[in-house]
Amino acid sequence: MTAVDFSGAAPASARPRLSKADRRMIRRGLIFAAPASLLLLAIYIVPMLVLAGFSVTDYQLGALSTRFVGLGNFVKAFQDPVFLRALTNTAIYAAIVIPFGVFLALGVALLVYNRKRSRAFWEVAYFLPVTATLVAMATVWQFLLHPSLGPVNAAIKWMGFEPVAFLSNPVLLIPTMALMGVWQILGFNMVLFLAGLTAISKDLHEAARLDGAKNPVDRFLTVTWPMLGPTTMFVVVTTSISAFKVFETVAVLTKGRFGSETLLFDLYLEGFEYSNTGYAAALTVIFLAIVLVLSIGQTLHMDRKVHY
């Protein structure tokens, strides 16, 4: 039996040596990536670490010393009636804005998409609220809904009813602000759905028609809606994030009165009005965790049903 010498063979796990050109390309790639990486580190990662550090202390803005409290701020938050009310208000607001902001935008996009001559006009008309600042639009809504001077209540009184306190009635306040949120986000979502509709090949609709889908509703359910899956998933996630970030309308219209606090407004009060930096940091961590879990959950749930 002949012995075989393996002493000169390279180990199976040995990596091939990189050439000078490969090393040069890696260095260039790292140099080009360094500015973006440093910016990401400075703007996102470091502030998040600082935020997490403050959230476990009782630090107050301007204080020279602080004390470690562990999870005390988080326990305090879920025992705080103001925070719990803000959490409930934000959940109600999001429960109204997300479905109406998505499906109304889809309906408007379907109507505008089939317009030939007036499509550009309707696109601009629906997108205008997106270009305006929420502070300015909230001021306009404040005038429209004024109990004595607003045209909405003037029309209600003209019909023989009592004026409605839209912005001071705790029952109507959150739905009223949700209506403003839907109005503001409708145009942006409509443009996204229009882009998704434009990307759908007309051949698919023709094939569905030949297969027996004569009704436009059947073609929508079998072709349009499945093909809009990626767009719908993106719209749902972005609308959810926008809904949970509601702040300007509360700050302008009610300033948190009448039980209208939301998560971001409560966070703002604790951090900037009351200078409870540690507690505000804990509220921020809770807010980010809610948005993160909601976004990931929606993405994972909808991704299984999306046709790419």
- 47 three-class SS: helix
Q: Provide the percentage of residues in the chain whose pLDDT is more than 90.
A: 33
pLDDT band, residue 113 (cuts 50/70/90)? confident
Token duo for residue 42:
């400075």
pLDDT band, residue 102 (cuts 50/70/90)? very high
Please give the full DSSP string across 127-154, using - where no structure is assigned. Answer: HHHHHS-HHHHHHHHHHHT-TTT-HHHH
Q: Taking residues 278-287, what's their average pLDDT?
A: 93
Domain boundaries, the chain: 74-303
Tokens 């607003």 — which residue? Answer: 150
Average pLDDT, the chain: 85
Least confident interval from 2-6, 30-34, 65-69, 132-136: 2-6
Answer whether residue 1 shows pLDDT above 50: no
Answer whether residue 35 shows pLDDT above 50: yes
The string of pLDDT tens digits covering residues 181-220 is: 999 899 999 999 999 888 888 777 778 777 777 777 877 8
Q: Which residue has the higher pLDDT, 221 or 78?
A: 78
Determine the straight-line distance between the first and last CA of the chain, rounded to whole angstroms: 60
**Assigned fold of 74-303:** MetI-like fold (1.10.3720)
Provide the pLDDT for residue 74.
93
Question: Whole-model pTM?
Answer: 0.83
Q: Which residue has the higher pLDDT, 281 or 204?
A: 281
- Residue 260 contacts residue 172 (beta carbons within 8 Å): no
- The count of C-alpha atoms lying within 13 angstroms of the C-alpha of 247, restricted to the half-sphere facing its C-beta, is 12
The string of pLDDT tens digits covering residues 224-254 is: 888 888 899 999 999 999 999 988 888 888 8
- 68 three-class SS: strand
